[in-house]
Amino acid sequence: MSKIDSRAVDLVVIGGGPAGLAAAISAKKNGINDLVVVERNDWLGGILPQCIHDGFGLEIFKEHLTGPEYAQRYIDEAKELRIPCILNCMVLEISPQKQVFVASPEGLVCFNAKAVILSMGCRERTRGQICIPGTRPAGIYTAGVAQNLINLKNVMVGKNVVILGSGDIGLIMARRLTLEGAKVHAVVEILSHTNGLPRNLQQCLIDYGIPLMLSHTVTRIHGLNRVESVTISKVDEKLKPIKGTQKTIECDTLLLSVGLIPENDLSTTCGVQLNPVTRGAIVNENLESSVPGVFACGNVLHVHDVVDFVTIESEQAGKSAAEYVLGKQKQLERINVQAGNGVCYVLPNSISKNSEIELLFRVLCPKEDASIGFFDGEKLVKTKKFRKVHPAQMIKVKLSKTETTDISELRVELLKK
């Protein structure tokens, strides 16, 4: 057996999507010259090349860009900065000593890294994960796969479509399929509210008169070779289908837009601890995981609503990784941050005292005129009012240095009024 090609490197960035590119660019700008981006596909930009709709970049560039345009800006910048990006390379394992094992077209390579940035993104939940009963015919796609086929490969997926799940990709695909001549009979959502951004409700469903069925789900798929119809049922408050409410919709295609899961199979190989709610790494304000020198950013950390936030977070991870490699990282005393009543999750999971910090969090249910409380034990440190909060919209709140002075823990809660 031949010896593994082994190479020492300051920083390995895993994944060449928007998170990995922004992290690598930021690390380079912060003084790391010896770095490499490892990408398993034969292109950079991750999922963005298939997201041909506009609305990207408003936060960062103050423009409405399409996915491919947004990606190209970072691909160009990485190229200008001469950041090595190796394509068609699959990372197999990361050891706790930060050896990154890569299956490359030239054979197995091992990078002995000082720091690693995890930016592998997320993947879609499938039919198997939501257990829809019925036959197993052709014509069942996750929304992202359908998007890939239509927008990159010129393959149309069907003519009569039902979409389960009202996340943004589902809404975007409802419009896309309609524009390409398909009939979208309904977008079916198990919850009593949509999971997508409100603007997508308007420009993807309302604009085209596509019915949205809230508190409904698909309870059976019919058809032997191809999908012939689906049964949908109303659900109760516990999301259980209500007997006697079944309706059949004839269709040849079912699209699933039922959630995204951070792709952390690799993270756990080096011992990174995960948060069971986000299914991403537990991180401090430097976006450093439980393994020193291993950082996480983008959708592998938590699923974001818009790519601009992925970029901003990843720039932070790149800067932090550079500080770690250059020995500039400060050893600080940290306190835990937790999600309390009405809050789904909060990031980062721990913060240093006496520092200005930005917390990111999501609420569990939509609410109007909501107040969010920041507690140290029973003591209320800060309150912030919102006209409207929604689980689909990530909330960002800054805490000042004085607000984090002398606190021993931090809990974020939706206040009852």
Partner 1 sequence: MKTEMICIGCPMGCYLTVECDGKTIKNVEGNRCKIGLDYAQKEIINPERTLTSTVKVKSGHLPLVSVRTNQPISKSRIFDVMELLAKVEVQAPVKIGDEIVPNIFDSGVSVVATKNISKKK
Residues forming the site for partner 1 (CB under 8 A): 49, 52-55, 58, 64, 66, 68-69, 72, 150-154, 179-180, 197-199, 201-203, 206-207, 305-306, 387, 393
Q: At CA 210, angle to CA 205 and CA 215, rounded to 5?
A: 90
Indicate the residue among 35 and 394 with the shorter CB distance to partner 1: 394
Instruction: Give 248's contacts (C-beta < 8 A, 6+ positions apart).
Output: 222, 229, 230, 231, 232
Q: At CA 320, angle to CA 382 and CA 349, rounded to 5?
A: 40
Indicate the residue among 57 and 223 with the shorter CB distance to partner 1: 57
Residue 336 φ/ψ region, left for φ over 0, alpha for ψ in the -120 to 50 degree band, beta for the rest: beta
Q: Output the smallest distance, CB 159 to partner 1, in A.
A: 16
Indicate the residue among 178 and 233 with the shorter CB distance to partner 1: 178
Indicate the residue among 195 and 289 with the shorter CB distance to partner 1: 195
Q: Output the smallest distance, CB 208 to partner 1, in A.
A: 9
Q: Output the smallest distance, CB 262 to partner 1, in A.
A: 21
Say if residue 91 is exposed, middle or buried (CB neighbours under 10 Å; 0-12, 13-18, 19+).
buried
d(CA 368, CA 299): 27
d(CA 37, CA 27): 11
Indicate the residue among 130 and 360 with the shorter CB distance to partner 1: 360
d(CA 328, CA 320): 9
Q: Output the smallest distance, CB 49 to partner 1, in A.
A: 7
- What the block records as the tokens of 139 is 């014509």
Q: Output the smallest distance, CB 313 to partner 1, in A.
A: 16
Q: Do 46 and 52 contact (CB within 8 A), yes or no? A: no
d(CA 298, CA 209): 34
Q: Output the smallest distance, CB 181 to partner 1, in A.
A: 8
Q: Do 173 and 370 contact (CB within 8 A), yes or no? A: no
Indicate the residue among 66 and 290 with the shorter CB distance to partner 1: 66
- What the block records as the tokens of 37 is 């981006």
Q: Output the smallest distance, CB 328 to partner 1, in A.
A: 34
Indicate the residue among 54 and 93 with the shorter CB distance to partner 1: 54
Q: Output the smallest distance, CB 201 to partner 1, in A.
A: 6
DSSP labels for 25-66?
HHHHHTT--SEEEE-SSSSSSTTGGG--SEEESHHHHSS-EE
d(CA 252, CA 102): 41
Indicate the residue among 194 and 231 with the shorter CB distance to partner 1: 194
Q: Which neighbouring-strand residues pair with 35? A: 11
Q: Output the smallest distance, CB 184 to partner 1, in A.
A: 15
What is residue 171's three-state secondary structure?
A: helix
Indicate the residue among 308 and 413 with the shorter CB distance to partner 1: 308
d(CA 237, CA 215): 8
Indicate the residue among 150 and 255 with the shorter CB distance to partner 1: 150
Q: Output the smallest distance, CB 203 to partner 1, in A.
A: 5
- Closest to 187 measured CA to CA, from 145, 249, 236: 249
